[in-house]
Structure 1
Amino acid sequence: MKCWKVITTALIAMLPMMAQAEKVNSTPVNASSVLQTIFGLILVLAIIVLLGWLLKRSQYFHAAHHGQLKVLGAVSLGTREKAVLIQVGEQQLLLGVTPQQINTLHTLSEPLPVRETHIKQSDSFAEKLKQMMQQRGNS
């Protein structure tokens, strides 16, 4: 019972301060502040979508990049069809990729020479993005 009396007394003592805080913090909401908030949210969402698209298009961030399976190149054959050259260990395969299936088109008896790109582990994200953008500009 004693604890409830202390809590009740503290709440009653805080009522004038709470009423005064509501007067100080109550600002009218106008159209410009709402538009500014909406524009900020749209901008943040657009940046998130753009970064997601860049990461999806980049081969530097795929999990299999440092493993035994590497995508060496791809050529679009239609709106949703691709020919993809992959390397599995020492063997290279040419695959036909459609939304429904993946077929082996050819197994290369002699591997094609591959241009090696070495990435240092200490590179920052900004450096990797700069390298990727430069490579896109060259091809």
Structure 2
Amino acid sequence: SDRGEKAISSLVDLGFVVMKQGGDGSLTLVTHSERIIASQVCASATLEQDDFTTKYVVLPLCFGHMRSSEPRKFALSCHSTMPITIEPVQTPPKMLATAAIQLAIAEGESQALLSHPVFGEMLKLW
């Protein structure tokens, strides 16, 4: 019987980010997977436990599916040497926007469109 990746008949637009959620609700990019057309993606990171209530959010970035408002269906596998709790949470559009912006700033290429001799770059696109 076919098992694993060969058993999947369709490929989809996949990618995800791991964000650390601060006590004030702020999000900071920790790591991300490569965005590819495939049946699976992976990323690895060492997550800090700097507080008892440290939280991380894994956000799927399936831009090929943005036309639908239905929740994204995916399976997540986490491996840890320490006990962890994993639970589904609501992800408002603002959270996805924050993740996409931070990923673009961290990994994207920028181009200055407007600059001033004294003030420097004033308009930059990623």
TM > 0.5 fold call: no
Asked which structure has the greater CA Rg, the reply is 1
The TM-score, its normalising length taken from structure 1, stands at 0.24
- Greater percentage in helix: 1
TM-score where L is the length of structure 2: 0.26
Higher relative contact order (CA 8 A, sep 6+): 2
More strand by share: 2
